[in-house]
Amino acid sequence: MSVQHEPAVAGVGLSAWMAPHLAAPAADPLADGETCDLAIVGGGLLGLSTALHAARRGLSVRVIEARGLGQGASGLNGGQVIPGLKFDPERLVGHFGEETGEALISFVSSTADVVFDLIRTEGLDVPSRRGGWIFAAHTATALEAAANRHRQWSARGADADLLDAAAIGRLTGAAGYRGGWLDRRAGVVQPLALAFELARIARAAGARIATGTRVTRLARQAGSWRVQTASGATVKAAKVLVATNAYSDGLVPGLAQSLVWLNSFQIATPPLPDGIAAGVLPGGQAVSDSRRILIYYRRSPDGRLIVGGRGGMPTPTRTLDWAHLERAMTRLYPALAGVSIERRWFGRVAVTPDHLPHIHVPEEGLVAVAGCQGRGVGLMTALGPRVAAYFAEGVREALPFPPTPIRPIPFHSFRRVGVAATIAWYRLLDGLER
Ligand SMILES: Cc1cc2nc3c(=O)[nH]c(=O)nc-3n(C[C@H](O)[C@H](O)[C@H](O)COP(=O)(O)OP(=O)(O)OC[C@H]3O[C@@H](n4cnc5c(N)ncnc54)[C@H](O)[C@@H]3O)c2cc1C
């Protein structure tokens, strides 16, 4: 099945992950009147990882994806597998209290292990490299934050180093950093391959996956769920997972209004010529920098440099909409001036007001998860077995953090306008700090 990312914009939209040899596994079209133990809405990393583990626990599983596999954030992202959340451990303990906070820290600490172990133990055909992730500090304040993060995670056993300006320069080859934090637990994957391979082994475990099928309504009926789709087919499911994240629509009342989705943009060079390649991320790490509107980058398995960062709120329509990333790239690597950009694409990142991922159980047998703030590759893959255990055993403790009520953001549509203004302001401040 060929993959097309929405919306089609002339000359842009193709991600660097799409390759002629890479094909999604076959789909299992939905028949009207099917029944299952668990219906999963959304075929991203969360939906597919949950499907795999639920099927292995003996549940009959139906995944229903509106578009193609990996056409949500899961096949479009930067492929950086970073453990932890945006908040450091002490902040999480402060927010959740000692017991829940430590349980959450232990879970988020393991998310990269889950991804790389899965690839290894299942023999997945997913190009990957566990070379670490660098938080790169461009100001003295950011370097202090890096040191603080290093202290907190090292105290919890993370294999990590604090980097000075010389060390970060050697590892990244990039100009302009004062230092940073290297977390060796992290690494990179080819994200679309990960989504396809998860789908393949989920199907092998018995899960059935329908694509091109939008779920339009969920209704509770006589103790089970009636899952209605745009094609007219309905499914009767004992339980339902809504794994639609930043692409959530009106299926679960208030869910889409409980988060703000932002466009994250990426660009990719062609495979870099040897003379230039040696000076670009020679250490093989992934990097996110400390700017308010952060820039993240990595090398791809075929030798491209891939640079990502927040984009504008409107849907991009021309290559110029990615120009800020090209500027960032040549600021970091002046030697890349004049190197062409071969791919430009974007996807949605779900951000919640408290910057934490949320699990909701709005009704019996219905779970929704949303809001991974750009950290979902590890987080959503690792949540899969936990959510599957929750469905199979019905025990709240299976979940790594407690479900919360869905809280729609007041004046939600204005919030997006506010976010757009904040991004413009932050970009200006970042520019002044260069
Ligand atoms: C450009 C970009 C770069 C990123 N970089 C990174 C990174 O480097 N590292 C990292 O950890 N995270 C990154 N992220 C975040 C990460 O990709 C996401 O957190 C993660 O993929 C979310 O997975 P998911 O399964 O929850 O959602 P998704 O993969 O978005 O899947 C949701 C699916 O639900 C489907 N859907 C929606 N409504 C319906 C419906 N009504 N019926 C049926 N299907 C429906 C959608 O079509 C979609 O396929 C990035 C995100 C983007 C967009």
198 pLDDT above the threshold of 70:
yes
Ligand 1 pocket test target in 289, 322, 349, 381 with most atoms within 8 Å of CB? 349
Residues in the chain: 434
CB 360 within 8 Å of CB 369: yes
Q: Mapping DSSP to helix (H, G, I), strand (E, B) and coil, where does residue 384 land? A: helix
Q: What integer is the mean pLDDT of 368-373?
A: 91
Q: What integer is the mean pLDDT of 265-277?
A: 95
Our answer on whether the CB atom of 189 is closer than 6 Å to any ligand 1 atom is no
* Cα–Cα distance measured from residue 338 to residue 398, given in angstroms and rounded to the nearest whole number: 52
Cα angle value 181/184/186 (rounded, 5°)? 100
Over residues 156-184, the pLDDT tens digits come to 999 999 999 999 999 999 989 999 999 99
CB 111 within 8 Å of CB 183: no
Ligand 1 pocket test target in 225, 244, 351, 386 with most atoms within 8 Å of CB? 244
**Closest atom of ligand 1 to CA, residue 345:** 1
Q: Mapping DSSP to helix (H, G, I), strand (E, B) and coil, where does residue 18 land? A: coil
Average pLDDT along the chain: 92
Q: How many whole angstroms from 181 Cα to the centroid of ligand 1?
A: 27
- What residue type is assigned to position 249 of the chain? D
**Band of pLDDT at residue 316, cut at 50, 70 and 90:** confident
Sign of CA dihedral 423, 425, 429, 432: positive
Cβ neighbors of 166 (< 8 A, separation 6 or more) are none
Over residues 371-428, the pLDDT tens digits come to 988 899 999 999 999 999 999 999 999 999 999 999 998 867 666 666 666 656 556 5
Domains defined for the chain, CATH in brackets: 34-132+185-412 (3.50.50.60), 133-184 (no CATH)
